[in-house]
Structure 1
Amino acid sequence: MTVIADNTVAQDGTQPQGAVADSRLDQGPQEVSDRLIASAARLSRNAMTEVDWDEPLDPTKYGCSPEWCTLYGTDLWNSLDEKQQIELTKHETASVASNGIWFEMILQEMVLRDQYLGEYHSPEFQWSLIEIADECRHSLMFAKGSEKLVGTSYRPSKLVGFLGQGFKLLARKEVAYAGILVAEEVLDVLQRGCMNDDRVLPFVRTINEIHVLEESRHMKFAREEVRESLKGVGWLRRQISALIIAIAGFVIVGSLHSPQAYVNAGLDRKQAMAARQKNAHFHSMMRGSCQHLMEFLDSVGLLTRPAAYWYRRAHIL
């Protein structure tokens, strides 16, 4: 595989896990946008035609790799038979997808607002429209995927929904784009870990592959916007922004796996939540896979000591 300049991969459209963006060729959002527009024209996918939405579910296949289940390796997980384990992974995958829709809607609103009175002829504006269109298609893909997997969907709590309203209303510049980046990177981690696993349902693997491919471009753009927004920024603003982004990341990560998913999978809510909170295996998987995200935040001065506290609470540092 040969990595191309926009951080996608020429052969299969993915980037290697843990890769840190190389900014040596980056000259700013306009130049990056030009490359991303060209990449989207070559590599964009269509889940409505690529996924067989009518194919019956194989009862022996998981919704995600077992190792990426929040309860994997716990006594509770080991007490379940394989059928129950499979059912749990289906509900967890539906929860991650559903809450992905929630944040993608926040993302779309923030990007639209950022470009509301932008330079409409510019590559940056044109790429932003492509990104919004991508996110609309991803949300539809996730919605249909959740319906097929478990026949239901999950939403964040009312409190988190309220906080999300505030974030999309108030977040600007590096706070908005770094918040987008954290959410997209964590979702990318969960999907990348399952998309090549033959134990996982084929249609779920295809969804993950499409999303990982197209989000690699979105994350490239977000990283460049963060770098651009932080040029010449003073110490105090950087400290405040870093803390807001970290708290937002903590809330987002904590919302991906809904407690109701455990209930719908036939587990006791309190028992499952307690096991998840103490699951060192899952926490280790998340920390290792988010290393490149933490390296980027550190490189732009957004991994401050107060911010690191919240990332550790979210088990991604």
Structure 2
Amino acid sequence: MTHQAPPSSRTPDAVARRLLTATAARSYDPGTEIDWDAPLPADTWFWPPERLTLYGTPLWERMNHRQRVELSRHEAAHLAELGHWFELAIIRMFSRYLMSQGGLDARAFYALTEMADETRHITMFGRLLNRLDRPYHGVPARVRYPFPLVDPLFQGITTFASALVIEEVLDRLQREVAQDERVQPLLRAVCRLHVSEEARHVSFARAELREAVRLASRGHLARHRVLTALVAYYTVPPLLRPDRYGDVGLPVKEARRQALHNPHHRETMRWSGEKLLAFLTEVDLIRPAQHHLWRRAGLMA
């Protein structure tokens, strides 16, 4: 596949300059934009019920409304925990990438600006977790332990591809939450702020990734196709399959089994990754040889 140079308006430098202007015009402070002291209405969803792991299962049918709402609270807390950690991981990857580049151009300045955004988002997720007031489980070992070992292998391609794996999957879900009037106002406010700024981050990562792919050798690109698929395989299932069933008083083994085989939740996982897979396929980072990993990640049928 031949990767031609992009038009001048779509070069990474041009995109970074536009995003710097947009950031200066529209950045938000979660500390002042969100009413953290507002009460949480009773019996109100913390996440859309159709996106919960047990929706439509036999266990779901046996649960009353209050139990279902409590499950949504725990699963929202799980997503906030992992979102908090993944933002930290993105800052780490961007720091290492910038140190290897030594750039003083618009692209470097926007990467630093994005890191500042992510710092505010980490604080926002932390405050959200305090309001949700549910047990802290932490990041699953399959994500936490390998990251320091494989992070140096990522370089430009997988640094930005990894950011997209998390950002685009969460973005699809959070855009829906932000518009869903059944969901707690606090959750909707957090999601609205997050997606408004993450849209810029996605644009930056896509521009950088296109450029990195265009300049990569055939062998280099082949390695990063596998690395990117492995990132999805190790991170997406723990992100989208929260194991909070014991906290809600459900039979853990049975709940895990029903969630794993739940066709509704499998469809949610594929839906959340549609835009991500379309883009990565377009830029030649997904080929049939990696399809089995993307299927095991739950993002491909």
Q: 1:146 aligns with which of 126, 129, 151?
A: 129
| 1:63 equivalent in alignment to 2:50 | no
- Give the secondary structure class of the aligned counterpart of 2:28: coil
Q: TM-score, normalised by structure 1?
A: 0.88
| 1:191 equivalent in alignment to 2:180 | no
More helix by share: 2
**Structure 1: which amino acid aligns with 2:107?**
E
Give 1:288 deviation, angstroms.
Answer: 2.7
1:268, 1:99 → 2: CA distance? 24
Q: TM-score, normalised by structure 2?
A: 0.92
Partner of 2:260: 277
Q: 1:81 aligns with which of 64, 72, 82?
A: 64
**1:114–1:131 Cα change, 3 Å:** same
**1:74–1:24 Cα change, 3 Å:** farther
Give 1:24 deviation, angstroms.
Answer: 6.1
| 1:168 equivalent in alignment to 2:151 | yes
| 1:211 equivalent in alignment to 2:194 | yes
**Greater Cα offset, 253-262 or 270-279:** 253-262
The equivalences for 1:90-105 within 5 A come to 90-105=73-88
Q: In the alignment, is the contact (CA less than 8 A) between 1:91 and 1:150 conserved in 2?
A: no
**Greater Cα offset, 251-260 or 298-307:** 251-260
2:101, 2:220 → 1: CA distance? 24
Q: In the alignment, is the contact (CA less than 8 A) between 2:243 and 2:256 conserved in 1?
A: no
**1:278–1:221 Cα change, 3 Å:** same
1:206, 1:269 → 2: CA distance? 32
- Give the secondary structure class of the aligned counterpart of 1:45: coil
Partner of 2:274: 291
1:147, 1:218 → 2: CA distance? 26
Deviations, residues 196-255 of structure 1 (Å, cap 9, x unaligned): 111110010000011111111111111111111111433332222111111111211112
Q: 1:263 aligns with which of 246, 251, 260?
A: 246
**Structure 2: which amino acid aligns with 1:77?**
W
**1:73–1:24 Cα change, 3 Å:** farther
1:117, 1:235 → 2: CA distance? 22
Q: In the alignment, is the contact (CA less than 8 A) between 1:95 and 1:258 conserved in 2?
A: no
The percentage of aligned residue pairs carrying the same residue is 33
1:25, 1:316 → 2: CA distance? 33
- Give the secondary structure class of the aligned counterpart of 1:256: helix
